[in-house]
Amino acid sequence: MQYMRRTSFQNGGMLALLGCLVLGLFLVAGGILAPIHPARSHIPAVAANGDLPPVIVPIRPAETKDAQLMLAALDRIGFDLEAVQKGYISVPRLVVSSLPPDLERLDAMDARKNLFLRLMLPVVLAANEQIGADRQHLLQIKSQLVSGVQMSADDVQWVLQMADIYDQPDADVDALLKKVDVVPPSVALAQAIEESGWGTSRIARSQNALFGQFGQAASGDWDYKSFASLQEAVSSYMRNLNTHRAYKEFRVARAKMRATKGEIDGWELAGTLHRYSERGDDYVRGLHGIMRDNELEAFDFARLNARRIAAIVASNT
């Protein structure tokens, strides 16, 4: 009898184990679970896309009018920042034109930080996605040239256009590849946090000026640049890093990483930005502190929702 009871227990355990295995395969196939990646400080050669988050529900315009409503809306659609950091879900294609004007009025600092990161991360990833696509096109053109294939007329015009955008006078493909490259999300987010006070500064709220960029007005006066949207602000910031002579060290270090590792190290690249601020090395230490304290390097692996048709678009204008 003892043998029979032990055998029944073993058979029941095997059936339970088999059931868990089948359920696990079903959840993974359905996109509900995804493997956790280890925390690292590199990002792939081209910005990657991922699967849908488990819940996709449109955000209504009325939900974007203030910070508390926006927090609730992001919770409702399943945009969980911790799940993104751990690699469980991709990032929804969320588009808001500006930060909530009452962001600083959120009682809890953690809530302010969480909302800021959830609004900024999709914008940073979208800007990198476009740069990554342009870079991939350049790499294809370079491969053809190495193979002895002459550029088509369309490709010639496209390269000339890229040269104009990236301030590259000779339109050299190799030179352009050093400029047409992504900015690690950990670096972009850390600088946005540092320069805008987590989105609470006056110029961040009124001018979408998140990165402390100066410009010359029609009057000839120099002042902080104003941007029509967060997307425009992030794109301008990345173009600044990719073209301005002050950040040549940043671009050289990034190109060296590509050549030696095939990956980009956000922490190491942040160390080249001592010329971004008059604070110099103290500024770099500040960025590193922000990256470390908020585990921003995990976002270097974040992926945008691959299915554009399921995009979540919200406008708070």
Contact 287, 270 (CB under 8 A): yes
CA dist 140 and 132 (Å) reads 12
Contact 40, 295 (CB under 8 A): no
From the CB of residue 1, how many other CB atoms can be counted at a distance below 10 Å? 5
DSSP 118-151: HHHHHHHHHHHHHHHHHHHHHHHHHHHHHTTPPP
CA dist 149 and 4 (Å) reads 75
Indicate the domain borders of the chain: 1-30, 42-310
CA dist 68 and 73 (Å) reads 9
Fold designation for 42-310: Lysozyme (1.10.530)
Contact 286, 191 (CB under 8 A): no
Quick one: which of 308, 303, 286, 290 has its CA closest to 128?
303
Q: One digit per residue, pLDDT tens: the chain, 317 residues? A: 333 333 343 444 444 444 444 444 433 333 333 333 444 444 443 434 445 444 455 777 788 889 999 999 999 888 999 999 999 999 998 888 899 989 988 888 999 999 999 999 999 999 999 999 999 999 999 999 999 999 999 999 999 999 999 999 999 999 999 999 999 999 999 999 999 999 999 999 989 999 988 766 666 666 788 899 999 999 999 999 999 999 999 999 999 999 999 999 999 999 999 999 999 999 999 999 999 999 999 999 999 987 654 445 555 55
The model carries a pTM of 0.80
